Amino acid sequence: MYPHQDSLFIGGAWVTPHAQEKITVIGSSTEAVLGSVPHGDEKDMDAAVAAARAAFDDPDGWPAWSPARRAEALYRLADALDRRKEDITRTVTAQNGMTITVCEQVEGMLPGTLLRYYAGLVRDESFEEVRQGMLGSPVHVRREPLGVVAAIVPWNAPQLLSATKYAPGLAAGCTFVLKPSPEAALDSILFAEAVAEAGLPAGVINIVPGGRETGAYLVSHPGVDKVAFTGSTAAGRRVAEACASRLRPVTLELGGKSAAIVLDDADLDTAIAEPFFFATMLANGQACFASTRVLAPQSRYDEVVDAVATLAKGLTVGDPMDPATQVGPLASARQRDRVEGYIEKGKAEGSRLVAGGSRPAEFSHGYYVAPTVFADVDNSQVIAREEIFGPVLSIIGYTDETDAVRIANDSEFGLGGSVWTADEERGMRVARQLRTGTVGLNHYTVDPAAPFGGVKSSGLGREFGPEALLNYQQLKSIYR
């Protein structure tokens, strides 16, 4: 299941890479080698872009297919992924530590769901409308595919975050070069096998794993028409700069430092429970939308601190393959070091550690960090300003509803957020005031039918929903 792959999937076939370098993937819970894949270089990326370009420019190729025919191919790809979902989930869990119960939904189910969703949206769509022009003649307005897409995805949810790009993009008629992250490259082999089984035309999807330099080369490649990127804000800025110089469309889904606002009327016995855990520490805190700043009313501050600390201490930390595990290891030694560095900063800044703060003693292997909660945090502190990307929460006090909204909005980021209250109308009022792309009311669950994305340093553009199709289309007006 965890192979040592010697070939790259380019032009619909497994081909010998130009590069000799290998990416070795390490298990997050075992620290043992899981497998390896070729590390693509510039010539490998040239071949992948050329294959995607040929598939797009073919007069009878993928973009020329009717939407119904493309939809049928997407349904076949969804079915092929479903047949591999057990292997996919176990591979992703072994790589990045996402618990198997979460991974079964996020990585095993959602890619197929997205493919079927966009296939259904475009199956009967003409992508052309006729308007009555102001000069007396009709105007045909067409939505045409943008072209070759460079899709760059991180390690925290590699299959889902790939699907958020290729599902709408394929439906629109684009072709793809996908660059997986080195930390989570093995599951891309299973994806390539599914693409081959589904019978997509050669070159419609090409996969070249690689590091930062490989990604930078792809982003700047003259054969690319569009970039879709998910990753850190710092890397996103570099991608945006490269695309701006080439006037190239780009979609950026970047970092977050979202706020969970616990209002003073919240029933803590029901609010600070499983839905709160999913909103704040899903995937071991390695989720960009996680509400890692917990805003608590001063009138009930100690109650909230006790409830959140109790929740964190009661979570089951363990083998991510065990269905009973709620928190697994972080994805890599580097990520664990990063999170531990922020924990030390929190201590140095004078915050009060009320849960976790160290590696669980019972694990001799694996990149584990105990679920950690800091109280008495000021919103100006480093742990409240910067994205940690681990199971670390900061509890910040506020005086009233207006103050809570002010603190929540006082952030470089604006991706997610949540409001916890017994009064849904009040919760909706607060949610509407938050400067963020998404908000959950008494939970946080991304809905594939609704646009997802951020404002400020959390990105540009939206994924999910019918709106995502527009990321991969350009408009043409034909005047008659």
How high does pLDDT run on average in the chain?
97
When pLDDT is averaged across residues 415-432 and rounded to a whole number, the result is 98
Hey, what domains does the chain have and what are their CATH numbers?
Answer: 8-254+456-479 (3.40.605.10), 259-441 (3.40.309.10)
Asked whether residue 38 carries a pLDDT value surpassing 80, the answer given is yes
Other Cβ atoms closer than 10 A to 424: 12
CA 173 to chain centre: 22
The band of 3, judged by pLDDT with boundaries at 50, 70 and 90, is confident
When pLDDT is averaged across residues 161-190 and rounded to a whole number, the result is 97
**Annotated catalytic, 288?**
yes
Which of 182, 207, 181, 183 is closest to 194 using CA atoms?
207
Of 19 and 460, the one with more pLDDT: 460
Asked whether residue 2 carries a pLDDT value surpassing 80, the answer given is no
Which of 445, 464, 470, 474 is closest to 117 using CA atoms?
464
**For the chain, what percent of residues have pLDDT higher than 90?**
98
The band of 20, judged by pLDDT with boundaries at 50, 70 and 90, is confident
pLDDT digits (tens, 9 = 90+) for 183-216: 999 999 999 999 999 999 999 999 999 999 999 9
Exactly one of 288, 340, 387, 463 is catalytic; which is it?
288
pLDDT on residue 1: 60
When pLDDT is averaged across residues 245-265 and rounded to a whole number, the result is 97
pLDDT digits (tens, 9 = 90+) for 434-452: 999 999 999 999 999 999 9
Q: What is the DSSP string of 190-220?
A: HHHHHHHHHTPPTTSEEE----HHHHHHHHT
Exactly one of 104, 107, 183, 253 is catalytic; which is it?
253
pLDDT digits (tens, 9 = 90+) for 316-360: 999 999 999 999 999 999 999 999 999 999 999 999 999 999 999
